[in-house]
């Protein structure tokens, strides 16, 4: 919850900390793992860390992995590259703001 509040306030470093360290690292098999994984990817996107977002989406093993892999593919296509190390621009797409 606090990670989502930080995200909404555009405080991306704090959101990244909550999703990664305080949720995923603290309870890797917890009830919030899948949501934290997705929201961490969205936070990376919003913070301009597209390579990290793409890598995170592609490594997902949750029931929503197919949607996350589609999102990673879309981010790569928007960036016009298949090399995620070259991706460093922020994308924004209001149509994708809602989780499928």
pLDDT of residue 81: 62
Residue 88 in contact with residue 50, Cβ under 8 Å?
yes
Structure token digits, residue 60: 């997902």
Structure token digits, residue 78: 């928007």
CA–CA separation, 22 and 24 (whole Å): 6
* pTM for the whole structure: 0.77
pLDDT of residue 14: 98
Per-residue pLDDT reduced to its tens digit, 36-86:
999 999 999 999 999 999 999 999 999 999 999 999 999 999 887 655 444
Among 77, 80, 76, 74, CA closest to 96:
74
pLDDT of residue 79: 82
């Amino acid at each position: 919850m606090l990670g989502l509040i930080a995200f909404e306030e555009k405080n991306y470093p704090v959101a990244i900390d909550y999703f990664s360290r305080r949720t995923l690292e603290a309870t890797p098999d917890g009830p919030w793992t899948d949501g934290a994984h997705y929201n961490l990817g969205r936070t990376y996107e919003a913070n301009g860390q597209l390579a990290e977002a793409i890598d995170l989406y592609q490594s997902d093993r949750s029931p929503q992995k197919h949607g996350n892999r589609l999102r990673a593919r879309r981010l790569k296509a928007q960036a016009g590259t298949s090399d995620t190390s070259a991706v460093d621009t922020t994308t924004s797409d209001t149509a994708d703001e809602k989780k499928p």
